Amino acid sequence: MSAERARVRLMQGNEACVEGALVAGCRFYAGYPITPSTEIAELMSERLPRLGGKFMQMEDEIGSMAAVIGASLGGLKAMTATSGPGFSLKQENIGFAALAEVPCVVVDVQRVGPSTGQPTSPAQGDVMQARWGTHGDHPAVVLCPWSVRETFDLTLRAFNLAEALRTPVILLSDEVIAHMREKVELPDPATVKVVDRPRPVVPPSEYKPYGPAPGDEGREGYVPPMAAFGEGYRYHVTGLFHGEDGFPTGNGEKSAALLRRVNAKVDTRRSELIQVARESLDDAEIAVVAYGCSARSAVRAVREARARGIKAGLLRLVTIWPFADEAIQEAARTAKVFIVPEMNLGQVAREVERALHGAARVVPLPRVDNELFTPDEILARITEEA
């Protein structure tokens, strides 16, 4: 098979996730099998050792997350993939990665929850867990693909952002996108932009693992350069609040500075981080806000509404956290009703409400019966509101 043809393939979302990760330079994977994410582990076990990378099936999801962080500190780009129950188990160590600023990618293929729920049925109920799953105020970057090709793109982007910001990035997929097969053309890896973590430019004696790079002093939300263990920098990494030197501190001001900075890494880069996709939104009187699998039905509903002369538009959240407040407010310049179809009891609808500050009315459209929205259902709601 020629390289050209190899790049055009019928593949599953989970497969595209693996391709995206490998192109991004992922060379370590640790995970524990769980439906509907398991194909990612299976493929990684096959592909990684062929590339000189390493795959581990750990004893549980807690250990998987821990091993990923350990490998990242050793200098490898690393990821794990899981689903609801496993995502819950990873949370403590996701917080560790956020505070200790260890880049890594966590894939959560959503299934119905809470608890064991419905392992093989789709849902979108982990939106808030992806934002607030670990304790304390922490930054969150969460990307939400709606197609197989976008799963590739966003996995790659997740690695690039994780490395650039030294923070865990979550790819929030769902059972539909993960298992759906689409014909996709993947980009030539040589043309793809790959970002690596910032590296120290100072000698070990001057290295502060949590201090600014030269030129970044005083910059809000700076990203400290990162050395790998074993490179001669001999620094300390801890989940305790620490100073710029990496050592634990009980000093309230230093603690506050750290907490503010790790959050500011994301808050000061909102415009770079937040991606949305718009369809017919410019003059829309009715805006549909959707993401992941639900957005696939939503876009068809919007097109059908337009065909019937209803001024409907779609705002699709590609980055789900940080939340696209600005894009929602912008849509409210024309739209007075926001319909939010989602496969949960209204997690994003509440965020839309918050972002709007009363500028428009929000119509939640929750669905939790394990069935995908049909375009007709969303269309019916649009028609009702028109």
Partner 1 sequence: MPDLSTYFRTQHMPTIWCAGCGHGIVLGAVLRAIDRVGLDKDRVAIVSGIGCASRAPGYLDFNTLHTTHGRGLAFATGLKMARPDLKVIVVTGDGDLAAIGGNHLIHAARRNIDITTVCFNNEIYGMTSGQFSPMTPTTRLATTAPYGNVERNFDLCELAKAAGATFVARGAAFYARPLSNLIEQAIKHKGFSLVEAVSQCPTYYGRRNKLGAGADMLEWQRTQAVTAEKAAGMKPEELADRFVIGKFYEADAPEYVEEYDKLIQRLKGGR
Among 119, 221, 239, 346, binds partner 1 (CB under 8 A): 239
Task: Give 247's contacts (C-beta < 8 A, 6+ positions apart).
Answer: 236, 238
Counting every residue written for the chain, the total comes to: 386
Question: Closer CB to partner 1, residue 231 or residue 376?
Answer: 231
Query: Residue type at 113?
Result: G
Question: Closer CB to partner 1, residue 228 or residue 368?
Answer: 228
Bridge partners of residue 190, in order along the sequence: none
Binders of partner 1 in range 22-61 (CB under 8 A): 28, 30, 49-50, 52, 54, 56, 58-60
Does residue 238 interact with partner 1 by CB under 8 A? yes
In angstroms, what CA-CA distances link 250 with 93, 102, 247, 256, 262? 22, 22, 10, 11, 18
Q: Cα(24)–Cα(360) distance, rounded to whole angstroms?
A: 40
Q: Cα(304)–Cα(310) distance, rounded to whole angstroms?
A: 9
Among 119, 198, 212, 248, binds partner 1 (CB under 8 A): 248
Question: Closer CB to partner 1, residue 76 or residue 171?
Answer: 76
Q: Cα(23)–Cα(77) distance, rounded to whole angstroms?
A: 11
Nearest approach, Cβ of residue 44 and partner 1 (Å): 13
Q: Is residue 121 classed exposed, middle or buried when 0-12, 13-18 and 19+ CB atoms within 10 A define those classes?
A: middle
Task: Give 215's contacts (C-beta < 8 A, 6+ positions apart).
Answer: none
Site string for partner 1, 78-117 (x = CB under 8 A): x-------------xx--x---------------------
Does residue 195 interact with partner 1 by CB under 8 A? no
Does residue 278 interact with partner 1 by CB under 8 A? no
Structure tokens given for 150: 């976008």
Among 16, 21, 43, 76, binds partner 1 (CB under 8 A): 76
Site string for partner 1, 289-308 (x = CB under 8 A): --------------------
Q: Cα(167)–Cα(230) distance, rounded to whole angstroms?
A: 21
CB 297 within 8 A of CB 374: yes
Question: Closer CB to partner 1, residue 92 or residue 304?
Answer: 92
Nearest approach, Cβ of residue 256 and partner 1 (Å): 21
Among 35, 235, 270, 329, binds partner 1 (CB under 8 A): 235
Does residue 251 interact with partner 1 by CB under 8 A? no
Chain residues in the site for partner 1 (CB under 8 A): 28, 30, 49-50, 52, 54, 56, 58-60, 62-64, 66-76, 78, 92-93, 96, 228-240, 247-248
